[in-house]
Structure 1
């Protein structure tokens, strides 16, 4: 599994643990919901700014999104 796929799974797990929809996470991260969905499926390679925005939207530390 590639890093971006692992990252996407961590985003999805974190989002679901907080009982958030993709739409809510996208709104809180100031991203489009389709882009967030593509990240979760490992189809996109997000920039560091996007990684930071997702972590902020989830209310977690950036490092959490890279844990194995």
Structure 2
């Protein structure tokens, strides 16, 4: 089997738990709403800097939002 690690996230769940819209979170971290949507949908992986800014904005640890999953 050829397995690979896929970078995933719980950004949408964490954002919703804070009662924030995509636009509100985007404004807080200095990106567009489309960027937040793309991260949530797995179409875009944030830079390390953006990932850490998202963690700070949501008051969460990196490993609580972002994780790797084995995929076949």
* TM-score normalised to structure 1 length: 0.80
Does residue 1:63 correspond to 2:48, yes or no? no
Q: Where do 5+ consecutive residues of structure 1 fail to align? A: none
Higher fraction of helix: 1
Q: Per chain length, whose mean CA-contact separation is higher, i.e. which structure has more relative contact order (CA < 8 Å, sep 6+)?
A: 2
User: Can you list the C-alpha shifts for 1:35-59, whole angstroms capped at 9, x where unaligned?
Assistant: 1110000000111001011112212
Higher fraction of strand: 2
Larger Cα-atom Rg: 2
Q: Where do 5+ consecutive residues of structure 2 fail to align? A: none
* TM-score normalised to structure 2 length: 0.76
Off by >2 Å, runs of 4+ in structure 1 = none
Does residue 1:42 correspond to 2:46, yes or no? no
Q: Which residue does 1:2 correspond to in 2?
A: 6
Deviation at 1:67, TM superposition (A): 5.1
RMSD (CA atoms): 1.8
